[in-house]
Amino acid sequence: MSRTTGSTSSAHATGPATSPATGPAADPARAVDTDVIVVGAGPTGLLLAGDLAASGHSVTLVERRSGETSNLTRALVVHARTLEQLDARGLAEELIAVGHPVDRLRLFGHATLDPTRLPTRFPFVLVTPQFQVERLLEARARKAGVVFRHGAKVTALRQDAEGAEVDLDEGASGVSTLRGRYLVGTDGVHSTIREALGLPFPGKSVIRSIVLADVRLSDPPASPFAVAATDRAFALAAPFGDGWYRVMGWSRDRQLPDGEPVELDEVKDFTRRALGTDFGMHDPRWMSRFHSDERQAPSYRVGRAFLAGDAAHVHSPAGGQGMNTGLQDAANLSWKLSMVLQGRSPESLLDTYETERHPVGKQVLRSSGAIIRLAIMTAPGSALLRTLTAGAVNRIRPLGRRAMRTISGLSFAYATPDGAHPLAGKRAPDLALASGRLYEALREGRFVLVTPRGSIRAREEDPRVVHAEYARGGKHTLLIRPDGHIAWAADGEPTAAALRQALTAWTGPETTA
């Protein structure tokens, strides 16, 4: 099985952590305070913590911010694969209700992708600010029992063979130590956890002096997601839904350091250059300048500590893939941690988080980087190259569909061992089942076993899985992971021995508590 075949490198060793990367070893005699410590209450950390708590594990989420979730966030787009993950948690419809589904995604120049033909229940791009995603996930995490420690800064990290612990500076409340069986750093591009683990973050800045502004518009765009680019500038404008608009853009003629203040006239200028109008923008409540990096940690795991989201990888903003990739990291890691904590799976299952998600992070770096480089390149003939590329994307339907499937996250599949069924590792579509839909069945947080109609074994009780039959026509037996990827498959109805072996390999022995 793919989940147990990876070798464990020295970076993943689970013995006492005595290297400079992790500091002195923790005290194994110290009592565990929580099953999992999650550091960073952005979307990735909130989804991960909520998943684990919903599965019955104790989770403490540490966040250095003291107040409520900020609405001054950069991400604006939720793609189809992320909506499927939210659907598997009963959250998709609530998020869609506060967002704006759009049926076109403009990349650069006149290159436009069409999501309406995506093979998913969500054939659109949802425009909604990151803080809406965070509010939804935070409410779920609190309801599931996650303990929040706001205003707590990690100052030290230690590990041993049984757990990981952090020292927390909580201001007026003093300094405390928190110990968990595992720890996950979801604390962003400037990750304290990544630094404490001694992991480098190689890469470079791909574009500088990107400007963000929240403004009012006297003459809003007809489309809820206006975006365009020229040789000299690009801009996008998207609504928050409360009368405010997020405007993001860049001008080749105004390349300033991050700390330089932003004036409203600058925002109007690059918006007019790219979109032909500034929409009568006025009354800015917030403006900021930043640069975009392309970086990826070489490892996502060191002992009992993991990295996810921007702590593990950062990308250019092209295609809006950053937040989505982090949320899918969390969906991959959460069920694996749960299986190991329950004693149903060996520790080696956790190595597959990196072997599956690191290549995805690398691919997102490449695809988003290619888009932004093509948009801003100035070499001779670059304008013609943009025109030709845009024409190819728009005219050659298979090329456009492939690009949209990649950006949406639907095309990602995980590697499997030689001899595995061709469906293994692939994303499972939202199959019609006799009892409803697949992603409704996944809401129990367990593996789902889907069998052809009339299968005897589909009616056998097994607490390790949710049993379901196809509503009609299905010919394969599928064992589907909690993250919606196919763990194991067989043509038709497998033998009892083959099914028993697959269930034991992926979900543990039937007698496991």
Give the Cα separation of 74 and 71 in Å (integer): 9
Place of tokens 């791009």: 125
Residue 436: the pLDDT is: 95
Ramachandran class of 185: left when φ > 0, alpha when ψ lies in -120 to 50, beta otherwise: beta
Give the Cα-Cα-Cα angle 426, 429, 433 (nearest 5 degrees). 125
Tell which residue, 346, 15, 2, 379, has the closest CA to residue 161: 15
pTM (two decimals): 0.88
Residue 380: the pLDDT is: 57
Residue 215: the pLDDT is: 94
At 117-155, the pLDDT tens digits run 999 999 999 988 898 999 999 999 999 999 999 999 999
Task: Per residue of the chain (513 residues), give pLDDT as tens.
Answer: 434 333 333 333 333 333 334 445 666 667 889 999 999 999 999 999 999 999 999 999 999 988 655 555 677 889 999 999 999 999 999 999 999 898 877 665 566 778 999 999 999 999 888 989 999 999 999 999 999 999 999 999 999 999 999 999 998 889 999 999 999 999 999 999 999 999 999 998 877 888 989 999 999 988 777 777 777 888 888 887 778 888 988 888 888 888 899 999 999 999 998 889 999 999 999 899 888 788 999 999 999 999 999 999 998 776 678 899 999 999 999 999 999 999 999 999 999 999 999 999 999 988 776 666 666 655 555 565 555 565 565 555 665 677 788 889 999 999 999 999 999 999 999 999 999 999 999 999 999 999 998 776 555 678 889 999 999 888 999 999 999 999 999 998 888 889 989 999 999 887 644
What DSSP string runs through 63-132?
A: ES--SSPPS-----EE-HHHHHHHHTTT-HHHHHHTSEEES-EEEETTEEE-GGGSSSS--SEEE--HHH
Neighbours of 68 (CB within 10 A): 11
Q: In Å, what is the CA distance from 376 to each residue of 36, 234, 380?
A: 43, 9, 12
Neighbours of 504 (CB within 10 A): 15
At 167-210, the pLDDT tens digits run 999 988 899 999 999 999 999 999 999 999 999 999 988 778 88
For each of the domains in the chain, give its residue range(s) and CATH number, in order of start: 10-72+129-201+297-368 (3.50.50.60), 203-294 (3.30.70.2450), 432-507 (3.40.30.120)
The three-state secondary structure class of 226 is strand
Residue 22: the pLDDT is: 46
Q: What is the 3-state secondary structure (H, E, C) of 57-72?
A: CCEEEEECCCCCCCCC
Give the Cα separation of 212 and 381 in Å (integer): 30
Say if CB 210 and CB 235 are below 8 A apart.
Answer: no
Give the Cα-Cα-Cα angle 396, 397, 398 (nearest 5 degrees). 100
Residue 11: the pLDDT is: 38
